[in-house]
Chains A and B, each alone.
Chain A
Amino acid sequence: MITLKINDIEVTVPRGSTILEAAERARVFIPTLCHDKRITPYGACRLCVVEDRKKPGSLIPSCFTPARDRMDIVTDTPAILEAVRTQLQLILANHPLECPVCDKAGECTLQDLVIRYNITEAPFGRDRFARYVDRDSPLIERDMTRCVLCGRCVRICGELQGRDELEFNHRGHKTVVATDGGRALDCDFCGLCVSTCPVGALNDKLFKDRTRVWKLQKKTTVCSHCGLGCWVDFHLEKGHLRRITPTVFPDGKKGLICVRGHFGWRAFESPSRLSAPRIRRDGALREAGWGETVGHAAKALDEIRRSRGASSIALLTADHLTTEEARACGALFRDTLGCTDMGSLQAAGYRRILSVLDAELGPTWEPATLKDLNDAETLIVLGGGGAELHPTLKPLVNGLMRKEGRELVVLSSWPDILTRRATLALTITAGYAEDFFAELHGALSAERTHASSADIARFGVDTCGLARLISLLGEDRKTTVLVAPDPFGDNLQRARLASLLHGRTRSILPLGARSTVPALSKGPACLPAAQPRTGCHCSRPSRPAASGPSTSWARTPSRPCRSRPGSGRPWRGSNSSSARAPSKRP
């Protein structure tokens, strides 16, 4: 730890921190434009310049200069203020003055800085360039006349998402951020670039021209499109959802998000979704009230149970249930009705893996968290499709692989995203994945007493790669195992293999078991350990009991969004499945 002074405030930071980080710790404001905590510092905007009293006269950019012990930094000398103001004036010289029609107004970093530093003149004149505007790409609109060339979108798409879709073209004052060849976007559409753009150059097309940001209410919640559960912010205008953005954590760092979480909420506005309960009468489904419907259903279920027995009832639920809803559902059908056959489409694989792990490892085992993923020196992925099912795995693994000396081992039978990123990819012949896992389990466990008669060639796995995997397991490296489910397969063998590896690694992360939030210790809602049979079919992460800043939770979708004013009903919930609430209905 080192100690330095920022504006005469003493602050202690870990060695390797930048001066900017030290200033944040000391609560001293330093303006930045090209800085985003999710990516490496860049040093392009030069707004973050400070001075060291020990070396007067030279301006140091604080976003990447490492802080040193006993530095004496000042951030508000006349020279610094002059430099910052000149910098802003230069940026404005190329920037169109479109605040009245730009969506970013109100949350625009450039606007905030200009107002804060009271820039009211343009001593350098105005020198606008004719840069392109791309309205053809889906979901993201790119208005490059507003671009300040901070490079954040380029870096986030390259370093974080790993997609490298955007890059600087040309040089000098002719520089423009574009795709190769200037085509429309053809990427993952995760929208991380939109989330990082400090000005209104990259815009969310779903939000464009809908409303002004100061009319929005923000609610922080967790996305439920997949088992990773990224923190997101809902932006609501009078109860109607207008957009979703990755949340901003208390330390100022923005989170991750994928295309489903960012832009997928509109799917739940589809007019074909049910907005009210319906009962089939006289051959047709007719809308009915909640009380009437529930009573009808209860009577029918009870009647079936009496006449034909509980085993004649089977339950099929959606994958988007919240933990609490699923628990309530399970409690009703299992405990009250005595039904034993319950399932959901995608959760089966997750559930199977978890139940096998619980069975083999006992009730006290703890799944790993995403922190273990980030700290891993070797990350082993059992099974393919992990990043396809959980898109934010892509930037997470990408961020991991950018560090020195990390190994990514992927055992899968199809060329998925993680296989392409792997340092060691063991591709198994299609259909033999489970057999291979069983074989590997046998080979690694101490039980095997005789040589296996299995023909390795059948599995199609490269033996050199296999040898490398064995040697990696033998090395003293921090290893995390990620288990990805096969939505249509049995998943038994991979779970068994994972449980075997738990002995060596102590770090097994079954996808779907945890969210990015430090979860509650094995919430009873989540794990089916106590139940011998299938039990709870939730695949959702448990949600922390205390949410973030908001105190009331948005509710499950109860009706489609009506943007027409005066639709009559009071606000009861947002229009996205991403919202969850403690289920109040029986």
Chain B
Amino acid sequence: MTIKELSEIKETYIGERKKELEEGVVTVDVHMGTCGIAAGGRNVFSALQGEIERLGVENVKLRVTGCAGLCSMEPMITVHLPGQTPVKYGKLDAAKTREIFYSHILGGHPKAEYAIGQGLEKPQKRVEIE
């Protein structure tokens, strides 16, 4: 593993993400740290997975990440629509998640009543954008 190989991995990753951006892939991060799981995060995840399968949607990518820090609002998800600021949602359950799925993830309209905030925390960035 040389420095060249290390940056190649990074470049490949960024390349893949850029491609997804162009293809209009929506990334949904489901925060499943232990706090998220304890609060019911698996239900949120399976709700999203279920709807994706049911509808045969192909441009939504689900990712499992760790705790986002605001444990009192778990279960949380962060929705990254290509070209838009990411939105963090909190205190979700399966039904609310489905609503978000249709209105925001597929439809592009963030659902404000479940949202906590938009944007990412300061040092975090989407590598393919910057």
Question: In the complex they form, do A and B come into direct contact, defined as C-beta atoms under 8 angstroms apart?
Answer: no
